[in-house]
Amino acid sequence: MTDLDTLEGDLLGQVGSASDEASLDAVRVAALGKKGSISELLKTLGGMTPEERKERGPLINGLRDRVQGAIATRREALAEAALEARLSAERIDITLPVRDAPESRGRIHPISQVMDEITAIFADMGFSVAEGPDIETDDYNFTALNFPPGHPAREMHDTFFLAPDHNGQRKVLRTHTSPVQIRTMRSQEPPIRVICPGRTYRHDSDQTHTPMFHQVEGLVIDKTATIANLKWVLEEFCRTFFEVDAVKMRFRPSFFPFTEPSAEVDIQCSRKGGEIRFGEGTDWLEILGCGMVHPNVLRNCGYDPDFVQGFAFGMGIDRIAMLKYGTPDLRPFFEADVRWLEHYGFRPLDIPSLVAGLTS
Ligand code: DAH
């Protein structure tokens, strides 16, 4: 191996291992710069005999050309790699989906939505909303509502009793929203027109019953409120709530201690193919209880039944929510499973209104 071969091997090795433009340039200067190793060799050509020059000239020039070529090729490769690195570092993956804003990711529970729908419908008829506590006294839940002491109707309610307090009084988890009637009448003067939506509790659990459920109570008290008014209010409600032009209703005589006369109301429906439709068909579905407020209840609230009268009704909210939105089982309503809520819940800005449509 000649000294030229050794030098070439060294230089090409350095070119190959130069990892950036600066180190490559240092190799170039060391070989081809003014005092570079190849430049020094070229300078020796001047002092040679013509024969020597003829032999050494092409060898040294060839060495220079190959080293120059290798540097140029390496420079190109380094520039390309640098560009590649920059492109991948600065890359933005525009295929990533945009994350939804919180207001479109959240969901309104069907019960809340149905309560809002009910409130919108009754507000349009001039009703306001009244509320009461979930923990009630026996008086509000039963006695003031004309349930006689020891009456079997108390048993029918599957009541949850709390431990006796320091007076020995056992409070209850309210078994219905009717106690809010008493609270309203004891704190307001007629005329009264309220609905009372809220939670209620009974010792009961299966596919269509949960220990906690929801009811809405209605109460109208004035000098002239009649059963005819009651029927119109309920028909108007059902028609609007189920979004049908007309709905046939059936008032069946019934018994509640706090109303006289009392009725249970069925609405006409069809159950063809396992699907319930309202405003058609030959089946009936019970949806609420109602009646004229019992004179004893009026008296218990300090009203004189000779001067005021009125009607009341009570309806299970969960049941009509299931009917309207086609959910077969009540229990998942209260399991807080986000997948269920994602499917059956409502978008937060779909606020029900009679003008914009209840369900848009
Ligand atoms: N409170 C009754 C229940 O839970 C429902 C009810 C029936 C309410 C008739 C009323 C009414 O206001 O008039 O079963």
Q: What digits encode the pLDDT tens for the residues 4-31? A: 889 999 999 999 999 998 999 999 999 9
Please check whether residue 93 is in contact with residue 329, taking contact to mean a CB–CB distance below 8 angstroms: no
The response to whether 136 counts as a known ligand-binding position is no
Residue in 200, 258, 318 to alter for ligand 1 test, most ligand atoms within 8 A of Cβ: 258
pLDDT at position 181 is 98
The arithmetic mean of pLDDT across residues 66-89, rounded, is: 92
Q: What is the pTM of this model?
A: 0.72
Residue 202, domain member (yes or no): yes
3-class DSSP string for 149-188? CCCHHHHHCCCCECCCCCCCCCCEECCCCCHHHHHHHHHC
Rounded-to-integer distance, Cα 16 and Cα 296, Å: 105
Higher-pLDDT residue of 209, 191:
191
Q: Ligand 1, closest atom to CA 293?
A: 13
The arithmetic mean of pLDDT across residues 24-39, rounded, is: 92
Closest listed residue to residue 248, CA positions, set 268, 266, 228? 268
In a shared domain, residues 155 and 70:
no
Ligand 1 centre to CA of 282 (Å) is 26
Cα torsion angle, 282, 286, 290, 296, sign: positive
Q: Ligand 1, closest atom to CA 315?
A: 5
Q: What is the CATH number of the domain that holds 155?
A: 3.30.930.10
Say whether pLDDT at 1 is over 70.
no
Ligand 1 centre to CA of 216 (Å) is 9
In a shared domain, residues 254 and 328:
yes
Say whether pLDDT at 288 is over 90.
yes
Residue 351, domain member (yes or no): no
Residues 6+ apart with CB under 8 A from 135: 162, 171, 172, 173, 174
Rounded-to-integer distance, Cα 322 and Cα 315, Å: 13
Report the domain count for the chain: 2
Residue 285, domain member (yes or no): yes
pLDDT at position 275 is 75
Residue 102, domain member (yes or no): no
Range of the domain at 287: 108-344
In a shared domain, residues 309 and 218:
yes
Say whether pLDDT at 93 is over 90.
no
pLDDT band at 192 (very low <50, low <70, confident <90, very high): very high
Mean pLDDT of the chain: 91
pLDDT at position 191 is 97
Residue 49, domain member (yes or no): yes
pLDDT at position 227 is 96
In a shared domain, residues 9 and 134:
no
Kindly report, residue by residue over 103-151, the tens digit of the pLDDT. Answer: 788 899 999 999 999 999 999 999 999 999 999 999 999 999 999 988 8
In a shared domain, residues 147 and 12:
no
pLDDT at position 185 is 98
pLDDT at position 354 is 79
